[in-house]
Amino acid sequence: MQDERTEYRGVYVNGEFHDGVDSFRVENPATGEPIATVAESGEQGVDDALESANRAQPEWAAMDPADRGRLLYRFAEAIADHAEELGEVVTRENGRPIGQSKGLADSAADYIEYYAGLTTKIEGETVPVPGTQQAFTRKEPLGVSAQIVPWNAPLLLCCRGIGPALAAGNAAVVKPAPEAPLGPLKLGELATEADLPDGVLNVVPGDGVTTGAALTDDPRVDEITFTGSVSTGQTVGKTAIDNVVPTALELGGKSPAIVFEDANLEGAVEGAMKALTLMSGQVCFATTRVFVHEARYDEFRDALREAVESVSIGPGIENPDLGPLVSEAGLGKVRRYVEQALENGATALTGGRTPDRDGYFYEPTVIEGADDDAPISREEVFGPVINLYEFSDEAEAVRRANDTEFGLYATVWTNDLGRAHRVANGIEAGSVMVNQYSGSYPQTPFGGHKKSGLGREKGMQAIDHYTQLKTVNIEYGDASDGALDG
C-alpha cells in the first residue's frame, strides 16, 4: 500500500529502518492530503525492537556513566542542530504552527541535555545499621522502557520520557501515535548519528490496539510510560499491573484559571490566548475553564473577545496564530461539544464555527453560560475552546475549579501574595502557575492529581521512576556477630 507520491518511513530498529507488517498513511491536517506512508510495526516489529533493546541494554547500563552522559549530550546537540527540520516535519504531520514546533524541538533537546547531566549523579544512600555491617542502596536501571507517545507534542513528550530512561541506563522502545510518527522516527535516526549504540533507542510506528498493545503487553518490557487519554491510560495501566511492571500515566486535563479582582488583566488575557492558540488548544494542560471575579468579568470578557477576533488562522507552515486540528475526528468532536453547549443555552461570545476552508480548522471559541456540570465544562474538548464563568469569592472559585475529575494544571492571577499561596495550596492539581501560563522546564516535575495521571515526569524525580532500588548489606566483621533477622 506504499503511495508513490509520498515519502516512506520504516520501523526504526537496531539503528536502521526496516519494513513493517503493513503500512498506513500520515496526512497533513491543513489540507487533508497524504504526506507519508509509514510502516505498521505490528507484532513482528515490536518483537525485533524488544530483542534489539534487550541485547543493547546491559552494555549501555554498564558503560561509565560519564561516557553515557557524553553520548546523550551529543544526541541533544544533534536534535538542536536539526530543530528547524524537526519542526517542519512535525508541523506537516500534526498541524502545529511552525514557530511553536521549532520551539518544541529545541525544548526536546533541552530534556536530553538536562538528563545527560544527571548520569553521574544517580546516587544511592548509606543506611545506619548496627554492628559491623555496611548497608547501602543502589539505584539500578529497570531494563527496557516502553514509551507510548501521543501526537500533540511528539518530540518533547518522547524526549521527556527517553531522557531519564536512557540516562539511568535503560534502553527504550517508543510507540508514536499514528497521526504523528515522523518526528519520533527522525529522533531514532539522530540517536544513531550521535553514536548511541544500536538498539538503545527503537521506534515502532503503528496503531494502538495492535502495535501499542503488543508492546505494552510483552514480558520483555520492564517499564511503561504512557502519555495520552484517560481511557487508554486505564487499559495500559491494567496491562502494567498484570505484568507487574512500574508505569507512569500522564493523562488529560480540564485546567482552570482563576482571575481575581486585583489581577493584571492584560497578563490574564494573554495567558488565556496562549491556552487557546497553543496547538489549537490540543494540549493536556490547556486552560479550558476561566473563572473571573464578578468585579472584572465584563472588562476581561471584552478584552478577550478583542484578542480572539484578531487571531490569524492558517496552515501551520505559514506560522499563523492558530493552525488546524489534528484530524477530521478531532474536529468532529470539538464541533459536537460546542453544538451541544449552544443547544443547552450557552452562548458563543466569539467563534463556534468552522471557517470556510480545506483542512480541519475550527474558529477560536469562547463560551459563556455553560453549567459547571455540562459536558463542555467537564470533559476534554481538545480544541480552541475556552469556557468563561463568573465568581464572587475565593472559596467559591477554588471549589468550582476543583470540581472536576482531572487535576493536571491550574493558573492563578492575583497580586495578593497571601491569596496566591492559599489558592495554590487549595487547588487540586500537579502544577499551579501564578501570574503566568506555561512556566514549565525540564527540571520542574510534572504530572497529574486525580484522573490526570500517576507518577511524575521531569525533574530529578523522574530518575527514581526509571530505576529500582536495591539494598546491599555487607557484614565486614565476624560473620557470627551479624544480626541476621528475618
Nearest to 163 by CA among 453, 430, 442: 442
Instruction: Note whether 361 and 353 are within 8 A (CB).
Output: no
Listing DSSP states for 76-102 in one string gives: HHHHHHTHHHHHHHHHHHH---HHHHH
Q: Which of 229, 340, 440, 468 binds ligand NAD (CB under 6 A)?
A: 229
- Dig out the grid coordinates for 71 from the structure: 553520548
CA distance 426 to 398: 7
Binders in 433-472 for ligand NAD, by CB under 6 A: 448, 453
Please enumerate, as own/partner, the contacts of 360-363 that have beta carbons within 8 Å and a separation of 24 or more: 360/29, 360/30, 360/32, 360/95, 360/324, 360/325, 360/326, 360/327, 360/328, 360/330, 360/331, 361/313, 361/322, 361/323, 361/324, 361/325, 361/331, 362/280, 362/325, 362/331, 362/334, 362/335, 363/313
Does 271 help bind ligand NAD (rule: CB under 6 A)?
no
Binding mask 234-253 toward ligand NAD (x if CB under 6 A, else -) reads -xx-------------xxxx
Given the complex with ligand NAD, which of 104 and 258 has the nearer CB atom? Answer: 104
Q: Which of 57, 216, 287, 327 binds ligand NAD (CB under 6 A)?
A: 216
Q: Smallest distance, Å, CB 469 to ligand NAD?
A: 25
Does 232 help bind ligand NAD (rule: CB under 6 A)?
yes
Helix, strand, coil percent values for the chain (each to nearest 5) = 40, 20, 35
Q: Which one is catalytic: 179, 250, 363, 428?
A: 250
Does 93 help bind ligand NAD (rule: CB under 6 A)?
no
Q: Smallest distance, Å, CB 243 to ligand NAD?
A: 13
Q: Smallest distance, Å, CB 146 to ligand NAD?
A: 9
The strand pair at 453-454 and 247-250 is best described as: antiparallel
Does 375 help bind ligand NAD (rule: CB under 6 A)?
no
For the chain, report the end-to-end CA distance as a whole number of angstroms.
62
Does 208 help bind ligand NAD (rule: CB under 6 A)?
yes
Give the interface size with ligand NAD as a residue count (CB under 6 A). 30
Instruction: Note whether 183 and 155 are within 8 A (CB).
Output: yes
DSSP one-letter code for 211: I
Q: Smallest distance, Å, CB 332 to ligand NAD?
A: 13
Does 212 help bind ligand NAD (rule: CB under 6 A)?
yes
250 tagged catalytic: yes
Q: Which of 12, 114, 151, 360 binds ligand NAD (CB under 6 A)?
A: 151
Does 227 help bind ligand NAD (rule: CB under 6 A)?
yes
Helix (H) or strand (E) holding 25: strand 22-28
Q: Which of 177, 182, 397, 401 binds ligand NAD (CB under 6 A)?
A: 177
Catalytic residues: 250
**For binding to ligand NAD (CB under 6 A), which residues are involved?**
148-152, 157, 175, 177-178, 207-209, 212-213, 216, 227-229, 232, 235-236, 250-253, 284, 380, 408, 448, 453
